[in-house]
Chains A and B, each alone.
Chain A
Amino acid sequence: MPIQNSDAPSSKAKLRRKGTNKSPKASVPASSSWMELEEPTMRALKVYALDPSAGNYIGNVMSVNVKWERNLKPGPVGTKIAVVDYDAANDRYYPPVDLNDHRILARGGLDPSESDPRFHQQMVYAVASETIEKFEAALGRRIRWRRADRPPGAEEGESATWRKTEDIWVLNLFPHAMVQANAFYSPEAKGILFGYFAAQKTNQGQNLPGQRVFTCLSHDIVAHEVTHAIIDGIRTYFTEPTNPDVLAFHEGFADLAALFSHFSHKEALLDTIQKTGGRLYQFELKPDAAPTGASSAPRKDSVHATDGEVDLTAQMAIRNPLIELAKQFGEASGMNRGLRSALGIRPNSNDIQTRVNDAHFRGSILVAAVFDAYFSVYIKRTADLFRVYRAGGGSSNPEELPGPLAELLAEQASTTASEFFQICARALDYCPPVDITFGDYLRALVTVNLDLKPIDGSGIRDALMQAFRVRGIYPENASFFSQDALSWPRVPKWTHPPCPGALPPVKAVITHPKTKKKAMTNLVFGNPNGLTREEKDINGQILRQYAQDNAARLGFDPDRSLAAEFKPYAPSFHPVFRIAPDGSLRIDMVVELVQTKKVPFDKNVPDAGSFPFRGGVTLIISAPEVGFGLRRGIVGDAEVRFAIRKPLTEGEGNLRKARQREYHMAMGLLNGNTDDPKHFQVNFGLLHQGF
């Protein structure tokens, strides 16, 4: 904790600035190197653990430690996110918080307050940073925000600007953007708009009638929206709803990230474990005091059914906060409960077939499936603890768990949660670049887990497969429902003659951006600190060339006469650094290759417009190994380990094309300007009407 030298960073920065101005004062003795303190690595900031409505519910105020940004400006405006408190509804700004102010540093962040916009800014900044860091840790790389389409051809010229106006380099967060019960990520606004609204006059739950409700003060809502932005940066084409699962995946995944973050909140977790007797998946917590008079048998119904028998607030059961999303928001809009729940939908294979149009509902099927698996693993892992407890004379239906047992359970719940979050996040890299379905995501989950943790002691893979299966989510092309059939097939080694499905090592003849020489060049994997612009240029060129050289093998249209913008290209490539099971550093590159075609809605009626039809493949490429023994010092080739395809051509391509056409028509996308690419993208603002 950097409290005692809270003033250090700013004064030090001042000194450095003066130093560059060659001011004689620069060499004051106080700055001699042995006395200088190291920069802190973390910044402590206070936030609501859930949202303001939880009041003084145990541990509702938590302190999060986010990465120390040295150059954090008032806003807070950092390098990856910037909070700008502009209220478009009232056309006014609110004063920005300066988190480097010593009075704030000394407190470990401003104390929670609904009436101070500066706390709102701090909370948005803290929760967004926390979410980003969790993703970065899981993915093994720095995340970036959405980049504008850079189709091939556009960047061939030397003068092409590196930065485009449609890019998002810094994600802006607007804590009070509008008067609306909504919050959404908007690529056009380059950020996330949080709304505020007045709670309903009747049926407002634990809020005052008509009180202001701020979506930016809900931990869940902030985490959810930031996750949207993160997914959009990783898979840009997932904002194009080409089948009913695409948007549902966006929504479901964002909910998953928000829900899993509940389990990293130690106090709430402990409290819930105590009050549910370790059954974290229970919908209600036992009240602090038993109801007077009435039998103390556990009730399964909600607060309202028990209202009549309750005399004290301490006797009211509350809903399990861990599995509920956005409690205040839901209650303030008259829903009597949180907006969504992790286990909102009973397992059945019917919903997935029938409820195709409601992205949020469909998303909650995904959430329920993952949480089903999570709780299965949690139960399995804690079963022994309960056995030991009972063997020691503990009751099988305990009123109150002993503290140490609760601690152990909490630890298990929280480790399992972060493990699950890691798998879920990493699976993003194993998803196809376009047209994702829940089945694809299941395959990605299984593959990533098999790829990185081949030995699955707690049966995570099995739990996931079963949980998806009972909800009717099946991958389309897998032949069996077993883990090796479900995991994406490994790409066979490149041989002469090549066996079917094999892909050549990733290298290509390109013109070096500096030396201007044409030569066979290898991919640059760089180091965890990132790639230089030149290295990125090289990689971009190699991958584009590789995609075009191997178009047919990758499921693209190999026609060389296509206009440059319709040729395959690489919208993104990320070197990934992860720890392998044996403890070594594993270096991979995750590459998206995409090709776009314009397909008319009706060949006979060309005037009816067309839609963009995309095919894509995600490549997981292993960094070359350096040989030993006889091949000592010889650097091998970058080999493709997985190629996750959504082909553009042949059988599957044609099937997808027909399906997409019909889907677009059913969604009414024929109306309006079909030449505008935005026409086929989702507008999160309208989708949400909630968040």
Chain B
Amino acid sequence: MAKNTAKRTAKKATRTGASTTRTGRSTTRKQAAAKATRKPRKPARPSKPDIGGGKVEGVLRVRMYRIGFGDFFLLTVPTKTGPQHILIDCGVHAGNIKTMDECVKDLVKETGGKLALVIATHYHADHLSGFASNYDDFAQFEVGGVWITNRLDPGDSGAAKFHAQISSLANQLRLQLGARKDPAGAQALDKVQNALGIQLGAGEVGNAKALKLLTEGFKNKPKTSYYQGGDDPELPEVLKGAITAQLLAPSPKDSGGTFADADNKKEQYLAAAAEGGLPDTERLTPFEKEWPATARDYPTRAFQEYRTTEQIENDQNGSPKAMEKVLRAAQPDVLLAMADALDGTLNNQSLVILFTCQGKKLLFVGDAQWGNWSYWLYGKKVTGADPGITKNAKEILGSIDFYKVGHHGSTNATPIPAVSAISEKCVAMCSTESGDPDRKRPYGDLDKGTEVPRTKLMVALEKQTKNKLVRSDWIPAGAVKASPEAKSELAKLPDNFSTGDLYIDYTFPG
């Protein structure tokens, strides 16, 4: 009985998959090729068991490795040639718990050195560093295909130029932030280093090395494809018929070759800054002559605005120190703002992928932030009045069975309309690190409500998914213990979850 239903859903999946490709079809070369390969399969269709039928082997499973603050996901798909593997990102940055080597070893063991597809969602070390640090291991892999966000396409001159600008800006920022000792500066430095992939030691810059592996480093030199939202991606041969993929973001670039909509303004701003160099923050004195003076040269009245409630009540004078402090705090920190903008821009380049397999829908969003989401939630840039999230987006979110929580659980990566549209059948996985041996939290500030993972969001997601949210830091891995917050959670892992030494698995029931 159970098998029958499985068969039926599988059949349905194939059909919906086929229809998706059909509607998305246009007359590009890529698709023409895809069409050609699909053709011989069509007559085979009446003999049902051929595709996705009883012959497929294995189960549909998502494995989340615990590597710290980063993403390392392995999606295993049952096909007629046995289980095939899709690797989605492999990297860690801040909050590195140093389990990457072991995890990659496990990956080799699990996959036998064969990956059907490797996907790099965006250019951040916490999604790429593994490809660089374990370059030699990965170089031994046989890979069916590589998908990368088209913002990194070297063949697109606009993208390439912008990417070069971003990198040069990041480098400048790094030099200036490196000298700073304040915690905010250190966090900003983290963000910039994440963009460059630094911290992996001397030699080649991390992210660039990772990109090199992805584009030319694998043993069998697989084809690299650069995609954006709305593209019809080409699946490697072994996955055809077993799974379909729909690309939702990043938003397509407009015909002019500049970056469209979503974060256009931010990107332009960054580009302008990169071209003109960073604002000058060197010590600049306004006057050539010395003008010695102290606060005492000013009447006390000048400082009355900076009194505390107590001082007002007791009719005391304000102090110049209080004013100086306020003024120092009011200085806008250009460097921090730029580091933030840089971080957001790269996150928004994330490839957002919706897989459909055996009737299950799995959404991997990379680190997409608002600009990226809004493109497919609303179908356009949204500012003023709300047009309501598109029917399509609502349907997608309401129908997904699996959600990879964006950006390690920060609020800006999962908008509230998205959370509330997720149905309760959905399962969510979040790869993050809430406690860090060196610093309390890798990112954000609890007081400002920008902590990552964001407590409120985690709670909201848990509620929405009826407690089917699982975090990577809930299991011990290597020498690192499970996050203290997780202790109670681990004992009652939701159904179909299981744990290994380094990972949490979710096996789809079916």
Query: Which residues from chain A sit less than 8 Å from chain B, CB to CB?
Result: 73-75, 77, 82, 84-96, 115, 117, 161, 163-165, 168-170, 172, 174, 176-182, 184, 186, 188-191, 193, 196-198, 200, 212, 214, 243-244, 334, 356-358, 601-602, 604-605, 607-609, 658-659, 661-663, 665-668, 670-674, 676, 683, 685-686
Contacts and interface: CB of A to CB of B under 8 A. Distances in A.
Interface stretch (B34-42, B44-52, B416-424, B433-441): B416-424
B293 A95 contact: yes
B299 A74 contact: yes
Given A170-B305, A605-B416, A663-B383, 11 more contacts: A73-B302, A74-B297, A88-B331, A89-B284, A96-B297, A169-B305, A182-B332, A607-B457, A609-B449, A665-B416, A670-B412
A608 B327 contact: no
Interface string B293-318: 11101110111111111001100000
Q: Say what secondary structure dominates the interface of chain B.
A: helix
A188 to B, nearest CB: 6
A82 B323 CA distance: 13
Q: Say what secondary structure dominates the interface of chain A.
A: loop
A282 to B, nearest CB: 30
B478 interface: no
B463 interface: yes
B379 to A, nearest CB: 14
A82 B302 CA distance: 6
Contact of A88 (B276, B327, B334): B327
A161 B313 contact: yes
B416 A686 contact: no
Contacts, number: 207
A88 B288 CA distance: 17
Interface in B255-280: 265, 276, 279-280
Contacts of B464: 605
B280 A197 contact: yes
B304 A179 contact: no
8 contacts: A73-B302, A89-B331, A161-B312, A161-B313, A198-B280, A357-B265, A604-B420, A605-B463
Given A95-B291, A172-B305, A602 B447 contact: no
Residue with the greatest number of chain A CB neighbours at <10 A, chosen from B320, B326, B337: B326
B330 A189 contact: yes
B364 interface: no
Nearest to A606: B460
Contact of B293 (A93, A243, A661): A93
B298 A607 contact: no
Contacts of B286: 87, 117, 176, 196, 212, 214
A87 B285 CA distance: 9
B238 interface: no
Interface residues on B, range: 35 or more
A427 B298 CA distance: 38
Given A189-B327, A671-B449, A686 B292 contact: no
Contact of B334 (A168, A180, A663): A180
A335 to B, nearest CB: 11
B416 to A, nearest CB: 5
A665 B415 contact: yes
B332 A190 contact: no
B386 interface: yes
B383 A666 contact: yes
B415 A670 contact: yes
Given A88-B328, A95-B293, A197-B280, A605 B420 contact: yes
Interface in B449-474: 449-450, 456-457, 459-460, 463-464
Contact of A165 (B293, B307, B410, B456): B307
Contacts of A96: 293, 297-298
A89 B332 CA distance: 11
B307 A670 contact: no
B5 interface: no
Contacts of B313: 161
Interface of B: 265, 276, 279-281, 283-289, 291-295, 297-299, 301-309, 312-313, 320, 323-324, 326-332, 334, 337, 370, 374, 382-386, 410-412, 415-417, 419-420, 447-450, 456-457, 459-460, 463-464
B308 A165 contact: yes
A667 B415 CA distance: 11
B459 A666 contact: no
Nearest to A179: B284
Contact of A186 (B276, B294, B330, B420): B330
A602 B449 contact: no
Nearest to A655: B385
Contacts of B416: 601-602, 605, 608, 665, 670
B412 A161 contact: no
Contact of B324 (A86, A601, A667): A86
B291 A602 contact: no
Contact of A84 (B298, B330, B383, B384): B298
A180 B449 contact: no
B301 A607 contact: no
B466 to A, nearest CB: 13
B414 to A, nearest CB: 10
Given A86-B327, A602-B416, A662-B382, A93 B309 contact: no
A686 B320 CA distance: 25
B310 to A, nearest CB: 9
A91 B281 contact: no
Contacts of B326: 188-190
A666 B334 CA distance: 23
Nearest to A603: B420
A212 B323 contact: no
B385 A662 contact: yes
A673 B302 contact: no
A658 B285 contact: no
A655 B370 CA distance: 23
Nearest to B419: A605
Contacts of B412: 668, 670-671
The 8 A-B residue pairs whose C-beta atoms are closest, nearest first, are: A662-B386, A673-B449, A685-B332, A95-B293, A189-B330, A73-B299, A190-B305, A356-B383
Nearest to B311: A165
Nearest to B454: A671
Contacts of A668: 370, 412
A406 B294 CA distance: 50
A125 to B, nearest CB: 12
A161 B286 CA distance: 41
Contact of A178 (B320, B331, B419): B331
A671 B279 CA distance: 27
Contacts of A184: 332
Nearest to A202: B276
B279 A180 contact: yes
A86 B291 CA distance: 12
B430 to A, nearest CB: 16
A75 B449 contact: no
A206 to B, nearest CB: 19
Residue with the greatest number of chain B CB neighbours at <10 A, chosen from A87, A181, A605: A605
A95 B292 CA distance: 7
Given A82-B301, A179-B281, A602-B420, A666 B382 contact: yes
B293 A609 contact: no
Contacts of A115: 287-289
A169 B293 contact: no
A90 B285 CA distance: 7
A134 to B, nearest CB: 24
A420 to B, nearest CB: 29
B198 to A, nearest CB: 26
